[in-house]
Amino acid sequence: MGQIVSIERMGAHLKMHDSRLYKCAHCMYHHFQRYVVERHLADKHPEKRPFVHVVREPEMETGSGKTEGVASTSLEGGKLNSYVFLFD
């Protein structure tokens, strides 16, 4: 039998199926807002390298006609590092 979800939690649950989804590199935690996963990493895995896996993120068109997609983000030494790849 399925799980009962309150109407208040239904909106949050549906966001997990939206265009954005990020995952903790060290456990199964995931969320549709990147900063929530970054906060989780700092709170739950302070001794490990903070790394956010991008499960889904909308692609953006650049002026060059190439598609830009952020592959991953890490927070090292208080500095946020994003790795961007361009696709033809």
Residue 1 lies in a domain: no
Q: What pLDDT was estimated at residue 57? A: 84
Residue 2 lies in a domain: no
Residue 22 lies in a domain: yes
Q: In the chain, where does DSSP find H-type helix?
A: 7-15, 34-44
Q: What pLDDT was estimated at residue 42? A: 94
15 secondary structure, DSSP code: H
Q: What pLDDT was estimated at residue 88? A: 43
Q: What pLDDT was estimated at residue 84? A: 45
Structure tokens at 1: 């039998």
Residue 27: domain span: 7-87
Q: What pLDDT was estimated at residue 19? A: 85
Q: What pLDDT was estimated at residue 60? A: 58
Residue 19 lies in a domain: yes
**Exposed, middle or buried: residue 38 (CB in 10 Å: 0-12, 13-18, 19+)?**
buried
Residue 24 lies in a domain: yes
Q: What pLDDT was estimated at residue 16? A: 78
Overall domain count for the chain: 1
Is the entire prediction scored with pTM above 0.95? no
Comparing C-alpha atoms, which of 44, 22, 42, 43 is closest to residue 32? Answer: 22
Mean pLDDT of successive 10-residue stretches along the chain, which has 88 residues: 78 81 93 93 93 83 51 50 46
